Amino acid sequence: MTQATQSQQTTQQGIQVSETALSHLKKLREEQEQDLCLRVGVRNGGCSGMSYMMDFEDPNNIRNDDEVFDYDGFQIICDPKSLLYIYGLQLDYSNALIGGGFQFTNPNATQTCGCGKSFGV
């Protein structure tokens, strides 16, 4: 991805995805052997009040009010209520043995827990 393309995506996408995270998501989708999209959202619960959720989903389940973000043919979808809490979210991935996995950086969070999977606004 060129710097201009990356900069353009940064200003247009409500959810930012690093190249590392996108590569890992595509690998996980290939293992499912289906053409799936990724639903990202929030739910009540977790140490700080709300927790992030991610799950692969059939593209036929995309609702009319869902926001759809396209990353080189990989779609990430989010319901409008969740997007209010995570707009501008940066999703990254690390394969470190300790502290690895998907990492969320949410500009709307006023507090986060130590594990980084839960936040409050």
* In the predicted structure, residue 101 carries a pLDDT above the cut 50: yes
Q: Which residues contact 39 (CB under 8 A, 6 or more apart)?
A: 53, 54, 55, 56, 57, 76, 77, 78, 79
The whole-angstrom separation of Cα 87 and Cα 107 is 8
Domain count, the chain: 1
Average predicted confidence (pLDDT) for the chain: 83
* In the predicted structure, residue 102 carries a pLDDT above the cut 50: yes
Most confident of 38-47, 64-73, 106-115: 64-73
> Is residue 63 in a domain?
yes
Domain of 40?
13-110
Q: Rounded to two decimals, what is the model's pTM?
A: 0.77
Q: Please state the rounded mean pLDDT for residues 14-26.
A: 95
Token pair listed for 9: 């995506």
> Is residue 74 in a domain?
yes
> Is residue 99 in a domain?
yes
> Is residue 3 in a domain?
no
- Domain holding 49: CATH number? 2.60.300.12
* In the predicted structure, residue 43 carries a pLDDT above the cut 50: yes
> Is residue 88 in a domain?
yes
> Is residue 47 in a domain?
yes
> Is residue 8 in a domain?
no
Q: Please state the rounded mean pLDDT for residues 26-47.
A: 89
